[in-house]
């Protein structure tokens, strides 16, 4: 009953937020039509000198299409000169080539090549992989937490500082590492193919693994920092918990998993809470104006809603319905949105999954 109350509360919060967003969007549209829209300004570039330097650098960049609004916002077409020459960032071609190769391997070449082969176990590889993902997520979370605690990161509306000062560059590098982390998570699906876990390669899994690298690439190239960083912070925290679970699942004997991994369902609840927080946080862009594009809500809000209700449906199918039927939830056949929860079908823990 307690878990049901938590999920009902989350549903209520999310529903209220959706209603508030719709109301605010409708009201804001009417004001713009009347020519009376006056949005509050908050979180613009902190240093007017650094802003001038940023404008100047773009004006001399023949590749950049510069577009500043009257309040100093950078248009979505503007490249960040600090990150434009970084590995895999200068052009979308390398990243897209990786994704095309990934899709070809997962959907075509890999299954055909494994059709008459025995599945690889890869237990040691999975242990190392999950451990490295924990370290990477911990570092990303630590960087984000320091930004909030020591650098006055605004949880209401945070603009992007495009200057070459040490801290803004540190934030940009953090966003870049987050992008690289999304590329490493493509190995999740590769391991599925090599271990012949075809049922785990769902549309949701492929959608998440394909979209997240593209979104984080765009953030690194155009807006490496600001309001969107918070989503990466909470996602990194969830990854720490999640990959810890998968590491333990890979290490523990199958007969001990039920005793020590009873908390799997709370990871799902944590994921659902993550999407609610991401939704609420990004809704603020509709109420405040800062040096961050409002159009980003078109990407974040629908995905937050989609993933939330997907997780809710999974929770009901994996736990509530089975509990009502007197069955014990299996560690198997679990689909996740920000990643995919997997288990063992052959007695050996899969020990991995993924997240966004």
Predicted confidence (pLDDT) per residue in 231-269, tens digit: 999 999 999 998 999 899 889 998 898 889 999 889 989
Average pLDDT over residues 321-345: 46
Question: Measured between alpha carbons, how far is residue 134 from residues 13, 242, 244, 320, 341 in Å?
Answer: 30, 9, 7, 29, 16
Half-sphere exposure of 142 toward its Cβ, with a 13 Å CA cutoff? 6
Cα–Cα dist 289/110, whole Å? 47
Considering 58, 205, 208, 281, which one is annotated as catalytic? Answer: 208
Average pLDDT over residues 209-219: 92
Length of the chain: 356
Is-contact 274 241, C-beta < 8 A?
no
Least confident of 88-97, 194-203, 277-286: 194-203
Q: What is the predicted pLDDT for the residue at 254?
A: 86
Cα–Cα dist 253/293, whole Å? 49
Predicted confidence (pLDDT) per residue in 53-81, tens digit: 444 444 434 333 333 333 334 444 578 99
Mean pLDDT score of the chain, rounded to an integer?
77
Q: Report the predicted TM-score, pTM, of the whole model to 2 decimal places.
A: 0.73
Inform me whether the pLDDT recorded for 331 exceeds 80.
no
Q: What is the predicted pLDDT for the residue at 244?
A: 95
Inform me whether the pLDDT recorded for 315 exceeds 60.
yes
- Establish whether 208 is a catalytic residue: yes
Q: What is the predicted pLDDT for the residue at 246?
A: 86
Q: What is the predicted pLDDT for the residue at 150?
A: 93
Cα–Cα dist 21/39, whole Å? 16
Q: What is the predicted pLDDT for the residue at 77?
A: 54
């Amino acid at each position: 009953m307690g878990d049901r109350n938590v999920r009902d509360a989350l549903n209520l919060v999310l529903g209220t937020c959706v209603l508030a967003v719709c109301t605010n969007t409708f009201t804001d549209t009417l004001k713009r039509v009347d020519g009376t829209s006056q949005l509050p300004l908050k979180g613009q570039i902190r240093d007017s000198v650094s802003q001038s330097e940023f404008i100047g650098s773009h004006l001399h960049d023949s590749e950049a299409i510069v577009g500043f609004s009257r309040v100093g916002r950078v248009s979505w077409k503007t490249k960040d000169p600090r990150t434009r020459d970084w590995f895999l960032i200068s052009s979308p071609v390398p990243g897209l080539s990786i994704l095309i190769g990934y899709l070809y391997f997962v959907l075509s070449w890999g299954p055909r090549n494994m059709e008459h082969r025995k599945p690889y176990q890869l237990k040691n590889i999975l242990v190392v992989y999950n451990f490295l993902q924990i370290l990477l997520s911990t570092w990303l979370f630590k960087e984000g937490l320091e930004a909030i605690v020591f650098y006055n990161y605004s949880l209401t509306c945070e603009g992007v500082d495009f200057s070459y000062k040490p801290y803004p560059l540190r934030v940009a590098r953090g966003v870049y590492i987050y992008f690289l982390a999304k590329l490493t998570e493509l190995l999740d699906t590769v391991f599925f193919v090599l271990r012949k876990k075809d049922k785990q390669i769902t549309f949701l899994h492929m959608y998440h693994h394909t979209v997240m690298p593209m979104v984080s690439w765009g953030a690194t190239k155009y807006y490496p920092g600001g309001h969107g960083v918070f989503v990466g912070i909470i996602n990194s925290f969830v990854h720490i918990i999640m990959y810890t679970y998968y590491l333990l699942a890979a290490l523990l004997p199958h007969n001990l998993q039920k005793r020590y991994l009873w908390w799997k369902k709370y990871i799902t609840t944590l994921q659902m809470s993550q999407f609610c927080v991401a939704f609420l946080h990004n809704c603020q862009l509709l109420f405040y104006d800062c040096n961050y594009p409002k159009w980003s809500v078109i990407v974040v809000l629908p995905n937050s809603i989609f993933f939330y209700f997907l997780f809710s449906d999974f929770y009901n199918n994996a736990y509530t319905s089975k509990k009502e039927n007197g069955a014990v939830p299996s560690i198997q056949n679990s689909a996740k949105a920000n990643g995919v929860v997997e288990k063992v079908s052959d007695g050996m823990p899969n020990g991995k999954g993924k997240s966004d």
